[in-house]
Amino acid sequence: MKKREEVHFDNIDYYLTEHLRSCKSSLKICVAWISWGKYERLLKSLAEKGVKIEIIYNNDPKNNQASRLEGVEGIELYAVNTRNKNSIMHNKFCIIDDEKVVTGSFNWSQNAETHFENILILINHFKVIKEFKHEFEDLKWYFDYYSVAE
């Protein structure tokens, strides 16, 4: 499998959506803020096709629409609180089918398209994908640990 890269500074939402639509088995999303209404239909459609979706996001009022996906079979939500009230979970990446990583400055928010943003898509960069998967699992552990501790 040949490694490939894509970098986008314009029409980011288009490229992101196209790669999300290509997902066949698993989708791990770790993004600080998400416009849930914007991605709800696509994520539900992927889950209906059997894609296992896990979403880690910053636990704050900007993400109160996450409830749109609560209880949807195949979708797990992790609202991360930080140890310090002045800090946030500020990652912006997703892992598609353990074959692609999408990362960059782009929040999955309504306003992100109006800002100067970027995404980098790495395809078949398995060493890098492994590192992102490790970070994702660490954040899930953090969520589970601190959810039980509260």
Which string of DSSP letters, residue by residue, matches 25-46? SEEEEEES-B-HHHHHHHHHHH
Q: How many Å separate Cα 37 from the centre of its chain?
A: 15
Is the pTM value of this prediction over 0.75? yes
pLDDT in tens, 4-60: 999 999 999 999 999 999 999 999 999 998 999 899 999 999 999 999 999 999 888
Q: Domain 4-149: give its CATH code.
A: 3.30.870.10
Three-state DSSP class for 86? coil
d(CA 7, CA 48): 30
For 13, the enclosing helix (H) or strand (E) is: helix 12-21
Strands, DSSP E only, in 81-118? 92-96, 100-104
Domain residue limits, the chain: 4-149
In the 8-state DSSP scheme, what is residue 10?
A: S
Distance CA 11, CA 141 (A): 34
What is the C-alpha R_g of the chain? 15
pLDDT-derived band at 149 (thresholds 50, 70, 90) equals very low
